[in-house]
Structure 1
């Protein structure tokens, strides 16, 4: 297996292993044991090959139709659980029962999973793309000419600028493919709106369902009113709204403004927020409040209602009464001509 072995040394069990495989073994505390090559070791892996063949014939024939590798992995997990109830030939226990006996003897798994991704340090080309394993992926145009770090997983590619994630793509399996995100090019298309109609990123957005027929209808109507250049720029302003407004609400805002003929990005944002507020109100319906008799609320009482309760004691004029008595005695003495002490 090339993922683990770089070279077979003679007709022995010795192998020169890949660095990633050595790191994987050290992470999980595994020991490697290799079969002898050739006819001398043909009988040593028959059981493994037989189990692989059984699983393939029973679960992968015909080939399952899935949308992603993640969905296929879920199916494999389900088939694995189903096999726990299977008996091998005439053995008295099932596979799951035998595993329950062996499980306490196994080493515990480490707390952190092993990162199986491959890391690449790449420079973004002038088309705002990076090339990973013969395939091209887009990043935001502000990173043109800069070096970024890409982590290639089994199902996806994640691109970082330092510690900040700047792009995430589903991994391309075939060679020579290209995956472009329309949102990554919007800042450049504002300056060159004429490049949008023939852009590859636009075609991929339509194929992925991100650019809907509602977008197309709104674009055509805006270009008819404002002209191709200004109408395309208005559409780009709407697409920029998608960075802070959910896609379904943005489409609802486009449809609403298209019906009334208010073809501006501000109107789309307003209608999209209305649709979002309506959805939020539907998901969190408040309990009906009991009916109250109409009352008049004074402004002072309304302001005081928002203040915390005042727990201080009521003011008392007792200390000032003492001063009043002292002042009265002093005034009487002065009127009689007595000398004050």
Structure 2
């Protein structure tokens, strides 16, 4: 099929070579004489006019549909019109007989045009402006969602990213929450890895960890602890505008979170429990160092080479370490639990009714009573979640052995693998021989051995005791010590007690005699002469009766 350009070229050639008339040219090429006259004019064919088509169904409804789309410009993002909702309103409010597909096609074409018209009226041109950042000055911070398989369950975690604007050097850490403690911990890890603090501005979203209230423009009311943290590290914060209007203001870290997630979190990492995030963070630190060899965009230098230029220009780290942990003083309830950030944690039962001190950081809770550490738990991020340790309830269970079977702490101990099938076998054998209550108390005595002996040694001791047909806790302790000695390891979980030295001076007998300040010793010298008579009564060899 001949194109329009080729047709015009043939007509012009025939007119020039053969001198044919307009009518003859029209008959030869099978076109209208108007087309021949167009071809004999300018060499470039004129553009075809698109015929105006009538829309008897859509035409009367365009104003109504445009009004709904313009109203969406000021509506909340999650309460804007969909094409289906517009179609429903046309049918209900305008008695329109129009197909949904027709409305859908119109909305898809018209919505971006209305948005563009609104921006033009506001004199806002859509586009991006290239930026230049000085070395060691600016950085960007953001959280991105990632999924980690924790004990066979896919769990949502949060990837903290701090990215230097000049070099593109980024530090990544993953946490179980994006609370204030994780926010601070990510900064500390990033500054430590970088060897300094950005001397310029760090750009942030309006995270609740840092901002209490978003005021007019870029004014913000910051949380007290964030103000203290900024003061300790000498940070200058810059807050982006809320919503889509501010997303481009830290576009580097926005894209970095997704890119890093696709590169280093595919396939989904697997860990046995939430404490395994520490191992993932070790791998992320190695990944950050490996990415120093990567090129960004069309830059000739690598990330590592550019960061080497800005590393000496970073502000120094503070001399004093800032305590990022949240410190509270909860009271222990009658179930030997404390509540921290709407989660429950167990403490030794002897502390029921007392007030303790709890320090919560990004991944761990440490409980102190006075200066003594009494409990340590992984952080629980679910509201109303619990982390209970069976060892904290053993004294109570010794008096209430029937409560062990349904104890929540026992369920947790099984899930963590601390209470093993070997424990269950000992418990069953003890109950079969001594009854439920007495047998459970014997199990509790065995569980108490874990406080002063290693877990593996106690398990080995239980197995040997069961093989011997015994359920005695004393036999378990003896066999556990034997197992530890055979392995060349100490049987106790704690350091052995050192003998206490006496403060009084021990004086030997010769030194006492040489001391002129002491009175003379008038006692006779010791003698064994009185025992010589026993020598005469010693029976001779072969005469023993």
| TM-score normalised per structure 1 | 0.77
Question: Residue 297 of structure 2 corresponds to which residue in structure 1?
Answer: 89
261, 284, 290: which one pairs with 1:76? Answer: 284
Once the two structures are superposed, what CA deviation does each residue of 1:93-137 show, in whole Å capped at 9, x if it has no partner? 111111111111112223444322211211111111111222211
Once the two structures are TM-superposed, the CA of residue 35 in structure 1 deviates from its matched residue by 3.3
User: 1:98, 1:170 → 2: CA distance?
Assistant: 38
Structure 2: gaps spanning 5 or more residues:
1-206, 491-545
Question: Residue 57 of structure 1 corresponds to which residue in structure 2?
Answer: 262
User: 2:423, 2:269 → 1: CA distance?
Assistant: 35
222, 225, 239: which one pairs with 1:17? Answer: 222
Question: Residue 331 of structure 1 corresponds to which residue in structure 2?
Answer: none
Once the two structures are TM-superposed, the CA of residue 161 in structure 1 deviates from its matched residue by 0.8
* CA distance 1:200–1:107, change in 2 (3 Å): same
User: 1:229, 1:145 → 2: CA distance?
Assistant: 28
Once the two structures are TM-superposed, the CA of residue 77 in structure 1 deviates from its matched residue by 1.5
* CA distance 1:206–1:38, change in 2 (3 Å): closer
152, 175, 181: which one pairs with 2:360? Answer: 152
**What number of residue pairs does the alignment pair up?**
281
Question: Residue 333 of structure 2 corresponds to which residue in structure 1?
Answer: 125
Structure 2 residue 347 is the aligned partner of structure 1 residue 142 = no
* CA distance 1:212–1:170, change in 2 (3 Å): same
Once the two structures are TM-superposed, the CA of residue 50 in structure 1 deviates from its matched residue by 2.5
> Which secondary structure state, in structure 1, belongs to the residue aligned with residue 359 of structure 2?
strand
* CA distance 1:86–1:228, change in 2 (3 Å): same
User: 1:37, 1:175 → 2: CA distance?
Assistant: 27
Structure 1: gaps spanning 5 or more residues:
283-341
391, 414, 428: which one pairs with 1:220? Answer: 428
Structure showing greater radius of gyration is 2
Q: Which moved more, 1:40-49 or 1:256-265?
A: 40-49
> Which secondary structure state, in structure 1, belongs to the residue aligned with residue 413 of structure 2?
helix
User: 1:42, 1:265 → 2: CA distance?
Assistant: 64
| TM-score normalised per structure 2 | 0.49
Once the two structures are TM-superposed, the CA of residue 168 in structure 1 deviates from its matched residue by 0.7
Question: Residue 233 of structure 2 corresponds to which residue in structure 1?
Answer: 28
Once the two structures are TM-superposed, the CA of residue 210 in structure 1 deviates from its matched residue by 1.1
Once the two structures are TM-superposed, the CA of residue 53 in structure 1 deviates from its matched residue by 3.0
Structure 2 residue 103 is the aligned partner of structure 1 residue 103 = no
